[in-house]
Amino acid sequence: MQALSAEDYLTKLLAVPRPNAQAVLAFYEHRVGAICTDARLLLAPLDDHLCHRGDGIFESIAYRERRLFQLDAHLERMKNSAAGLNIVPPCPWEEVRQRIIDVAQAGGEPVGGIRVLIGRGAGGFGISPQECPQASLYIIALRGHIPTEAFYAKGLAAFRSAIPAKQEYLARIKNTNYLPNVLMSEEARTKGMDVAITFDAHNCMAEAAIANVGIVDASGCLVLPEFTNALPGTTAIRAMELAEAAGKCVQQRAIPAAELDTVQEMLFFSSSPLCVAITSFDGKPVRDGKPGAFALWLKKALLQAMLTEGTAF
């Protein structure tokens, strides 16, 4: 095997095909301290514990019409996640916020998503955080699309996952160790369905692989699981706030699996599609198998909130 000079190695590296390069609009790495728009250079050092230990945190932030949805809520959750892992970002949080806006602007598209990752940092291949003198920070703007009305009209097919709900002490930290979520995604693919949903040790609904879930119960009340074995989702929390402000019944409580047989609606909450109806569960239709009024109302209410409250760039 040939040993190359740094210059020759870089030439070969830049010639390597980059899958899905067209999705990357712009990115920033704190060590370099600048924004780049060439996806070939979107690289992280392998000795960053973010890569080989999953020792890091992240946030996904959607934007439409050049407005970042729930930017400050995402940053607040990221602060809590960082505190949970005792990670200190390499710059003040105010600077992280501004860099997110800068990268979104450099991406040049009105619709997309931002990934913010803070890792333990480069420094070794062991397990001790002491190997890493400074945390890492990566911010990426990704190309996005607006879901079609046909997508919302069809809804999602969900099922009970064989993967158990996350342990409480980890569920509230949005960390980069997403192996259970990956397994849930693969489980859904092999079953030909859209959404795997975990249940806790008490047989109560927890969350989906990359989203919160909830129901409209038999009485017409919007109910979400308590955030014990589920991540406190920014979109789900805003949905509850909007529903309460509109005078609707809202609860957070345990949702036993048996209750799913009597619900009026099942709902899926995520940053990009906002709110989507789950129209079938475990191969059976939810109510009449069509999106319900609450799901359709929340999708519109969340979109309006995104466009009026979002941070402009």
Amino acid identity, position 213: V
> How confident is the prediction along the chain (313 residues), in pLDDT tens digits per residue?
999 999 999 999 999 999 999 999 999 999 999 999 999 999 999 999 999 999 999 999 999 999 999 999 999 999 999 999 999 999 999 999 999 999 999 999 999 999 999 999 999 999 999 999 999 999 999 999 999 999 999 999 999 999 999 999 899 999 999 999 999 999 999 999 999 999 999 999 999 999 999 999 999 999 999 999 999 999 999 999 999 999 999 999 999 999 999 999 999 999 999 999 999 999 999 999 999 999 999 999 999 999 999 999 9
DSSP 1: -
140 vs 38: CA distance, rounded Å:
11
Ordered domains of the chain (ranges, CATH): 6-143 (3.30.470.10), 149-312 (3.20.10.10)
Per-residue confidence (pLDDT) for residue 112, from 0 to 100 = 98
Q: What is the separation of C-alpha 32 from the centre of its chain, rounded to a whole number of angstroms? A: 26
Per-residue confidence (pLDDT) for residue 124, from 0 to 100 = 97
Q: List Cβ neighbours of 19 (8 Å cut-off, separation of 6 or more).
A: none
Q: List Cα–Cα distances, 241 to 145, 164, 219, 305, in angstroms.
A: 26, 29, 19, 11
Q: What is the separation of C-alpha 265 from the centre of its chain, rounded to a whole number of angstroms? A: 23
Structure-block tokens of residue 199: 């249940």
Task: Look at residues 138, 139, 181, 176 and name the one whose alpha carbon lies nearest to residue 161.
Answer: 181
DSSP 209-226: SSSEEEEE-TTS-EEE--
Per-residue confidence (pLDDT) for residue 253, from 0 to 100 = 98
Task: Look at residues 301, 305, 278, 161 and name the one whose alpha carbon lies nearest to residue 216.
Answer: 278
- Contact status, residue 73 vs residue 138, Cβ threshold 8 Å: no
Which residues are registered as beta bridge partners of 276?
268
Strands of the sheet with 56-64, listed across from one edge: 34-36, 24-29, 136-143, 112-119, 56-64, 67-68, 311-312
- Contact status, residue 306 vs residue 274, Cβ threshold 8 Å: yes
Per-residue confidence (pLDDT) for residue 231, from 0 to 100 = 96
Structure-block tokens of residue 232: 């406190």
Task: Look at residues 187, 183, 174 and name the one whose alpha carbon lies nearest to residue 74.
Answer: 174
Amino acid identity, position 52: H
